[in-house]
Structure 1
Amino acid sequence: MNDTVLILGACGQIGIELTQKLRILYGSNNVIASDIREGGEEMLSSGPFEIIDATSKERILEVVKKYEVTQVYLMAAMLSATAEKYPLKGWDLNMTSLLAVLEIAREKHIKKVYWPSSMASFGPTSPKINTPQQTIMEPSTVYGISKVAGEHWCNYYHEKYGVDVRSIRYPGIISWKTLPGGGTTDYAVDIYFDALKKGTFECFLSENTRLPMMYMDDAINATIQIMQADADKIKTRTSYNLAAMSFTPKEIANEIKKYIPDFTIAYNPDFRQDIADSWPQIIDDSHARQDWGWQHEFDLTSMTKDIITNLKSKL
């Protein structure tokens, strides 16, 4: 039997590109995109689309039954910086949507669930360098708190009910195709756009703030790879550490100057600096590499070349 996939939050930064890739892999009609608002022209024209509030179990189940969905990718979430402004809304969206999907899986309406966690699940007391798979997790943000809680709900539903739920702790995700959605690592997306449009950039983090990052192509590949892996290879049912590169705003600016020599950057840290300071600088993702064969393709140099090449033609 062929898989039919439902993506909740398909209009988000990762959701847009994940939808495109899954439609190539599974066939356009077998990947149902959904969000609380209507998607863009490309998404609507390339396959089925449904309006779904991800906190409504009834509505999700209705669509699951309509299309005989076998897999759900739950990408709907309120990210770190936005959730700090609306903490109760952030908690409600992030938790209610996950529990709705886990319940649908427990009731055997679907076979497999993907839910993303984040490096935000770590906190100020977690080791900053080579942050291990299992370590102290005391997050200081609403987003991080919701991710730690979500990881344990995933593990609980797997242990208690046999739900096949899989998860990755994303680092900061960088893409030139889709704009970011209110995260603390968003500067690393905006900097490329501003460099090409204005030749200058004001960064909301200090110049030496080192954070784990990943190019969108690698993030999408990892997401699909963990879902396609044999179930017996998935040893961790909370969430897997995932890493590719770590860099500072100063380092990314220097890389951009290779292509735009006159580019200038100013630093004006805001409330997001405190969030960034609570997160890891370098993450140990050896479990993902050992268990299901994760390998990243892009580093800072190759990513910058790819982004600037593509953005020049886009802009």
Structure 2
Amino acid sequence: MRFRASVLGKLLGRSSNCMQSRVPSGGVCDVTHLPGAVVTSRHYHPNGDPPRILITGSLGQLGSGLAALLREKYGRENVIMSDIIKPSKETWKSGPYVFADILDFKCLQEIVVTYRIDWLVHFSALLSAIGEQNVPLAIRVNIEGLHNVMELSKQYDLRVFVPSTIGAFGPDSPRDFTPNVAIQRPRTIYGVSKVHAELLGEYYHHKFGLDFRCLRFPGVISADTQPGGGTTDYAVQIFHDAIAGEHFECYLRPDTRLPMMYIDDCLRSLWEMLVTPENLLKRRTYNVTAMSFTPAEIVAAVQKHFPDLKVSYRPDDRQKIADTWPKVFDDSEARRDWGWRHVYDLPSMCDIMFSKLRAAGVENNTALADDAVLARGM
């Protein structure tokens, strides 16, 4: 869920009404699957239509990109974006959008029934840095909201995807080549809520047969939203500062290694996980990653494009969070079980980030939307 400071309080004083913002008009397209994928009537309408998909918290970093990807594959009217924020004109025109308060079960239930939802992608959450500033709200959104999603998915036999994070691990976890199964014990409420989501989803799968799917994402880097001060956001801010000719001040030590992933790889991994046949899934939660680097390493990569970039380091409280997270993710099981492969490494990511930022006018100070402050990845 994506929040501005001005709307944080709305969850606490929300209306019980669930207003539909845009009514779908149908639309069918061919369904694309991984090789060997099996289409079952459980997640497709009997008449052969593609799945109808609800994305909660869709105005965050991943939601708009995922909606565009899924609409390309399944048809624009089959992917329903939702959030508690008023959408932009572009979002409104791009396809169905509804108000959805994840703390209101009946609101979600009405959407699932009205739009005949088959798959639910649950992005709504308060992220690491913001969650530490408002723990009670993070518990309500990240845990109570999840409970509503899980019960609704069980009741209506939905396929549900809930993202997890490197933040689900803690200082007792192995930090080099962190495996899928290891001691976790995170030190942030965001991480605690994600461990809860992983375990609850696995329980619902084994107890009730819920088709629960989860990926642990590393830091996600994108040119489409502004950095918002999250623990891995330095790896986005450096591109903005470099292209604007500004001094880059990093809030982590230069040797702080963390797993990262370019957004296109992230979204593709999510879709591939969604459509993987159940018989190929050896577990319900997988690590995925693409690269691991330090601030010093990304500085060196960026300076190949902007040699005059000035850099300084001033670690703050985010350093304490980063010091408890994995340095390198082991995603070998995802690569083995369902064929996950990344495309972008650090040099190719730098190329595409600068290309997209220039195309967006950042170099000329025509900034990207500034309401993405809390929509970042970690």
Q: TM-score, normalised by structure 2?
A: 0.81
* Paired AA for residue 162 in structure 1: G
Q: Offset at 1:199?
A: 3.1
Q: Any conservation in 2 of the 1:16–1:178 contact (CA below 8 Å)?
A: no
1:264 aligns with 2:290: no
1:94 aligns with 2:142: yes
Picking from 121, 126, 149, the partner of 1:73 is 121
Q: Give the SS at the match of 2:325.
A: coil
Aligned equivalent of 2:340: 294
Per-residue Cα deviation, 1:153-201 (whole angstroms, up to 9, x for no partner):
0000000000001000000000001224553111111111111113321
Q: Any conservation in 2 of the 1:215–1:303 contact (CA below 8 Å)?
A: yes
Q: Structure 2, unaligned stretches of length 5 or more? A: 1-44, 363-378
Q: TM-score, normalised by structure 1?
A: 0.97
Written as runs of structure 1 = structure 2, the 5 A alignment for 1:48-197 is 48-107=96-155, 109-197=156-244
Q: Any conservation in 2 of the 1:12–1:181 contact (CA below 8 Å)?
A: no
Per-residue Cα deviation, 1:80-137 (whole angstroms, up to 9, x for no partner):
1111111111121111121111101211x24200100111111001111111111111
Aligned equivalent of 2:8: none
Quote the Cα distance in structure 2 between the aligned partners of 1:288 and 1:56.
Answer: 34
Structure number with the higher helix fraction is 1
Identity of aligned residues (%): 42
* Paired AA for residue 150 in structure 1: A
Q: Any conservation in 1 of the 2:100–2:107 contact (CA below 8 Å)?
A: yes
Aligned equivalent of 1:45: 93
Quote the Cα distance in structure 2 between the aligned partners of 1:83 and 1:228.
Answer: 31
Q: Offset at 1:40?
A: 2.0
- Aligned residues, how many? 313
Q: Any conservation in 1 of the 2:157–2:210 contact (CA below 8 Å)?
A: no
Per-residue Cα deviation, 1:249-285 (whole angstroms, up to 9, x for no partner):
1111111111111001111111100000000000101
Q: Give the SS at the match of 1:72.
A: strand
Quote the Cα distance in structure 1 between the aligned partners of 2:275 and 2:228.
Answer: 27
When residues 180 and 97 of structure 1 are mapped into structure 2, their CA distance, relative to the original with a 3 A threshold, is farther
1:217 aligns with 2:264: yes
Q: Any conservation in 2 of the 1:80–1:182 contact (CA below 8 Å)?
A: no
Q: Is 151-160 or 83-92 further displaced after alignment? A: 83-92
Quote the Cα distance in structure 2 between the aligned partners of 1:179 and 1:288.
Answer: 30
When residues 181 and 76 of structure 1 are mapped into structure 2, their CA distance, relative to the original with a 3 A threshold, is farther
Aligned equivalent of 2:325: 279
Q: Any conservation in 2 of the 1:206–1:273 contact (CA below 8 Å)?
A: yes
Aligned equivalent of 1:308: 354
Aligned equivalent of 1:247: 293
Aligned equivalent of 1:232: 279
Per-residue Cα deviation, 1:190-242 (whole angstroms, up to 9, x for no partner):
111111113321111111110000000000000000001001112212x2111
Higher relative contact order (CA 8 A, sep 6+): 2
1:204 aligns with 2:251: yes
Quote the Cα distance in structure 2 between the aligned partners of 1:200 and 1:23.
Answer: 39
When residues 91 and 225 of structure 1 are mapped into structure 2, their CA distance, relative to the original with a 3 A threshold, is same
Quote the Cα distance in structure 1 between the aligned partners of 2:171 and 2:215.
Answer: 20
When residues 180 and 233 of structure 1 are mapped into structure 2, their CA distance, relative to the original with a 3 A threshold, is farther
Q: Structure 1, unaligned stretches of length 5 or more? A: none
* Paired AA for residue 310 in structure 1: K
Q: Any conservation in 2 of the 1:36–1:54 contact (CA below 8 Å)?
A: no
